């Protein structure tokens, strides 16, 4: 039996780029019906996320917008605004990541919507909390990485700030938003009332950084400098082998002893600096320099066998080219292939959450703009003549034809 706790819940997706689509994609995996609203210009990530056969479905866009119906409206036009009003009225949850002032101009901000529909759950994902001095400013993942000190962690470690080459702030904030929506839907079902949710990226990621790196300044008075010195060590990095790189971590005393023995460093087994967790914390710089020393006397495969036999957490370092061929990922079927209506054969990355031994179905491929206009407009009560008129006026986009 499929795990669909949100079956019967309609989510109106007023989001674009990454953070919002991540949230609504996750909700789709729990059985919610997602109706993604796009403007005629389309979601920026359709092109910004990289090349594609038609230029309209980058790989990033495909993966974050699976399992969603697509309606394309020009909500600057009054006729399209009427359609939007009907969509809001027939939805249980609204998720938006437009700037608050833009939503207010359109009359679809949380206060306006909940005043008309107090039973709705409205989730607003913002760059900055709406009660702070940065409220309403534009932002993107890299800006948040800099503002939260994430880029500065590399400055402390390497002498130069740098971004994580992954939209990590968007991913994390989007997943947290999905969790908040789940909690709000539970309340909605229990009480019949809705609520307003706000997930600010800056505060969310600042909390993530500080939970790990406020560290010794978590006490008054401080007992040391800020920062987890293990993570900030310039020696906290993959280790080179004869033909590649491996990543491993040894934290417990038995793991450390096993590592030293496996790497023929028996002379360090009696070194008091490394004899306990507390001792290694006091001598973290020396310890990380030792454990990051190159292991170029054996190949990656040989070191994997040795360290795994010692029950040490270790894996080879993949590249973007080799990761899809990882034998474990292939065995569990993380990546499948399917036919897209306009892009030909495309990769389909399934959910990693398993329910009662089964993964949820990946859902339909990300759709062309306006693919579901006709069906959704009919469901909202529009006649064929009215739909034709909406398309003729430009209020609603005619569906893009499928590839032949």
DSSP code of residue 185:
H
Q: Are strands 245-249 and 239-240 parallel, antiparallel or unpaired?
A: antiparallel
The predicted structure's pLDDT at residue 400: 63
With H, G, I as helix, E, B as strand and everything else as coil, classify residue 29: helix
**Given the residues 170, 220, 267, 339, the one annotated as active site:** 170
Q: Which residues of 289-313 are buried (b: 16+ CB within 10 A; e: fewer)?
A: ebbbeebeeeebeebbeebeebebe
170 catalytic? Reply is yes
Report pTM.
0.94
Q: How far apart are CA 26 and CA 189, in angstroms?
A: 19
Q: How far apart are CA 72 and CA 368, in angstroms?
A: 9
Contact (CB, 8 A) for 291 and 262: no
- Among the listed residues 233, 205, 56, the one whose alpha carbon sits nearest the alpha carbon of residue 142: 205
Task: Write down the pLDDT at residue 3.
Answer: 83
Task: Say if residues 53 and 384 touch (Cβ distance below 8 Å).
Answer: no
CA atoms of 209 and 149, how far apart (whole Å):
7
Answer yes or no: are the C-beta atoms of 100 and 125 closer than 8 Å. no
| Cα 89 to Cα 280: distance, rounded to the nearest angstrom | 59
Rounded to whole angstroms, the Cα distance separating 63 from 324 reads: 15
Instruction: Provide the token pair at 241.
Output: 């082998």
Q: What number of other Cβ atoms are within 10 A of residue 370's Cβ?
A: 21
**Does the N-terminal peptide bond of residue 50 adopt cis geometry, omega within 30 degrees of 0?**
no
Would you state the pLDDT for residue 126? Answer: 97
Distance between CA atoms of residues 145 and 136, nearest Å: 18
Task: Output the tens digit of pLDDT for each of the chain's 404 residues.
Answer: 678 999 999 999 999 999 999 999 999 999 999 999 999 999 999 999 999 999 999 999 999 999 999 999 999 999 999 999 999 999 999 999 999 999 999 999 999 999 999 999 999 999 999 999 999 999 999 999 999 999 999 999 999 999 999 999 999 999 999 999 999 999 999 999 999 999 999 999 999 999 999 999 999 999 999 999 999 999 999 999 999 999 999 999 999 999 999 999 999 999 999 999 999 999 999 999 999 999 999 999 999 999 999 999 999 999 999 999 999 999 999 999 999 999 999 999 999 999 999 988 888 999 999 999 999 999 999 999 999 999 999 999 887 665 54
At 58, give phi and psi (nearest 5°). Answer: -60, 160
- CB atoms under 10 Å from CB of 373, counted, come to 23
Q: Which residue has the tokens 């990300």?
A: 366
**Cβ–Cβ < 8 Å for 49, 22:** no
pLDDT of residue 363: 87
Interstrand relation of 68-72 and 33-38 (parallel, antiparallel or unpaired): parallel
- Helix, strand, or coil here: 316? strand
- Which segments of 257-403 are extended strands (E)? 313-316, 335-340, 344-349
Which of 102, 53, 51, 98 has its CA nearest to residue 76? 102
- What domains does the chain contain, in order, with CATH numbers? 10-208+330-393 (3.40.50.10540), 239-316 (3.30.1540.10)
Q: What is the CA radius of gyration of the chain?
A: 25
């Amino acid at each position: 039996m499929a795990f669909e706790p949100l079956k019967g819940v309609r989510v109106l997706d007023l989001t674009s780029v990454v953070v919002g689509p991540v949230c609504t994609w996750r909700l789709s995996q729990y059985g919610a019906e997602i109706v993604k609203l796009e403007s005629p210009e389309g979601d920026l990530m359709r092109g910004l996320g990289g090349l594609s056969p038609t230029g309209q479905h980058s790989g990033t866009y495909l993966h974050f917008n699976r399992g969603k119906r697509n309606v394309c409206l020009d909500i600057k036009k009054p006729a399209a605004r009427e359609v939007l009003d009907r969509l809001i009225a027939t939805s249980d949850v609204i998720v938006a990541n437009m700037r608050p002032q833009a939503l207010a101009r359109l009359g679809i901000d949380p206060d306006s919507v909940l005043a008309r529909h107090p039973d709705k759950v409205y989730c607003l994902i913002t760059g900055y909390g709406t009660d702070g001095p940065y409220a309403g400013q534009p932002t993107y993942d890299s800006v948040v990485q800099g503002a939260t000190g994430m880029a500065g962690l590399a400055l402390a470690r390497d002498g130069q700030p740098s971004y994580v080459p992954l939209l990590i702030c968007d991913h994390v904030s989007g997943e947290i938003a999905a969790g908040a929506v789940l909690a709000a839907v539970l309340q909605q079902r229990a009480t019949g009332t809705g609520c307003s949710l706000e997930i600010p990226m800056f505060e969310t990621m600042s909390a993530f950084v500080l939970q790990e790196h406020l560290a010794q300044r978590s006490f008054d008075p401080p007992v040391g400098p800020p920062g987890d010195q293990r993570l900030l060590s310039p020696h906290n990095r993959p280790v080179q082998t004869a033909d590649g790189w491996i990543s491993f971590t040894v934290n417990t005393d038995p793991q450390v002893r096993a590592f030293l023995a496996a790497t023929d460093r028996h002379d360090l087994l009696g070194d008091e600096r490394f004899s306990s967790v507390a001792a290694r914390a006091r001598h973290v710089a020396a310890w990380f320099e030792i454990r990051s020393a190159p292991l170029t006397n054996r190949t990656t495969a040989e070191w994997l066998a040795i360290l795994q036999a010692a029950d040490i957490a270790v894996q080879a370092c993949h590249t973007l080219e080799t990761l899809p061929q990882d034998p474990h990922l292939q065995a569990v079927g993380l990546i499948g292939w399917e036919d897209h209506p306009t892009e030909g054969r495309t990769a389909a990355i399934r959910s990693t959450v398993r329910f009662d031994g089964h993964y949820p179905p990946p859902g339909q491929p990300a759709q062309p703009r306006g693919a579901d206009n006709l069906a959704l407009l009919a469901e909202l009560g529009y006649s064929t003549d009215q739909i034709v008129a909406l398309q003729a006026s430009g209020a609603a986009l005619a569906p893009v034809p499928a590839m032949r």
